[in-house]
Structure 1
């Protein structure tokens, strides 16, 4: 049985749509439908039923969905056990875009230097998507924000940074009051569907500021480039990105800034890849320590 078919099945149930599930894994809807038919033949029972324009699990589909995460974890454990003596392994890591553009390349360089025989797969996504990937066994670990909800005891978490908000402005505005700039200058807004963007929204509301919005996007790298081009100002988390200081962008502290987002590594305590995950965490902690000047999350 193809484990990818089982992952596709979970995604179909999550989205309620063959087409949306296919879009997320870069396949055609017909290919995903064929995967579902193959699963139904192997299990000998219908797993999905049409419900208007969507699909929903049958009673047998519900039972399979409850079983799949544990099945995927056990298969991963078996693979690791079989390959234990050869020291060959695989690690699937999820990451938010901020980490991909900042800490993760250095973390992976350190990890690969110590375990060059390990094959590493990377997937990007939001913190919610990565959390679900770890929970379902599709990801071994995730470098992400601490979820907005309490983690169950099945998960472990290693903090790396706390990131408060700051204001990015063009250099010629650096001597002006940050709050006055937020009221007068166009705002390049950090995507409100993300945890950092929601933190920005809460700060603006607490400061009773209704900004003049010009753009809204999810890439902090692109936001800093747009500020550099004089397109506006931006409230963003103080990430480990190499901001273009010394060019045309200046970082200003924000008055009354008390909230921060927690950034770290997430995994399941029962993961069969614990020995590799712990090495990854050690590498991450070492990179943050070497960079210096970073506030550790608690």
Structure 2
């Protein structure tokens, strides 16, 4: 039994397909199939029902997936648990939402690299729900996401890092207008309602009984900012304070009275409590963020 085969098993369980799992773990499909056969021989049990078009876990397969998660969590945590208090080593796979990537995370990672040069860090971007799922599946160690509108997936714990404000944004040429009124009169570029932030915005608009003229619905904050900068409409998006201070091509106005905010959290698996690596990341992020009460 190899650790790589266990990671392959988790990828299949997560993606529901040998093909997508192969892409996720950077293997050929034949190599993925070989890993599964090897595990089935080791465990003397079938892990997937092969009578189905798509791979479906058997009862033995479900048990194997849960144990694989536990084994890999223990293995991945070894390097962060050993060694001296001041010298951290090991791998930290981080997922992050766009506002964190454009705001506090680069500063935090730069400081972390100086303090702990032997830590191997990888970063993946995505929307909060996607990143939470990847942490749950063991593909990421931690993720910086928004505090979900609904409870986060079962088995995940969160640590509050900081808050971000929601902002009405408009072309800079309309900076002297009442942006609240522009929400009703201008084309509205909507933040994707599949995202946690998009659902928060939608709920608040309904609470305010505000009708908007939706012209686009996009899942990229950068794309929304570009569309607004080009004069194609107005929008409501969450922004890191660093973005508010640096963007010069759009006008800003707080959304809501008082301003609507969201909490940004560090997500991790409950069965792998906040280790020294993840704790160091959380502390670095908080050092460059406005204080928020727990």
Q: TM-score by structure 2 length? A: 0.84
Matches within 5 A, 1:25-174: 25=25, 28-50=28-50, 52-80=52-80, 84=83, 88-150=89-151, 156-174=157-175
Change in Cα spacing, 1:235 to 1:254, as seen in structure 2 (3 Å) is: same
Aligned to 2:275: 274
Query: Is 2:80–2:277's contact at 8 Å kept on the other side of the alignment?
Result: no
- Alignment RMSD (CA, Å): 3.0
Post-superposition shift, 1:201?
Answer: 1.4
How much does 1:79 deviate? 4.6
Give me the whole-angstrom Cα distance separating, in 1, the residues matched to 2:239 and 2:47. 46
Go from structure 1 to structure 2 and tell me whether the alpha carbon gap of 1:273 and 1:225 turns closer, same or farther (over 3 Å shift): same
Kindly indicate whether the alpha-carbon contact (under 8 Å) linking 2:129 and 2:196 is maintained by their aligned counterparts in 1: no
Q: How many residues align?
A: 292
For structure 1, the 5+ residue unaligned runs are 289-293
Q: Does 1:296 align with 2:292?
A: yes
Q: Distance in 1 between matches of 2:147 and 2:130?
A: 12
Q: What whole-Å deviation, never above 9, does each CA across 1:172-214 have from its counterpart, x for those lacking one?
A: 2223333431222112221211111111211222233343323
Supply the distance in 1 between the matched residues of 2:154 and 2:37 (Cα, whole angstroms). 36
- Show structure 2 runs of 5+ residues with no match: none
1:103-136 per-residue CA deviation (whole Å, 9 max, x = no partner) reads 1111100111101121112223332333344344
- 2: CA distance between counterparts of 1:6 and 1:175? 58
- TM-score normalized with structure 1 length: 0.83
Distance 1:167 1:191 in 2: 15
CA distance in 2, matches of 1:5, 1:217: 37
**In structure 2, how many angstroms separate the alpha carbons of the residues matched to 1:11 and 1:274?**
23
CA distance 1:200–1:24, change in 2 (3 Å): farther
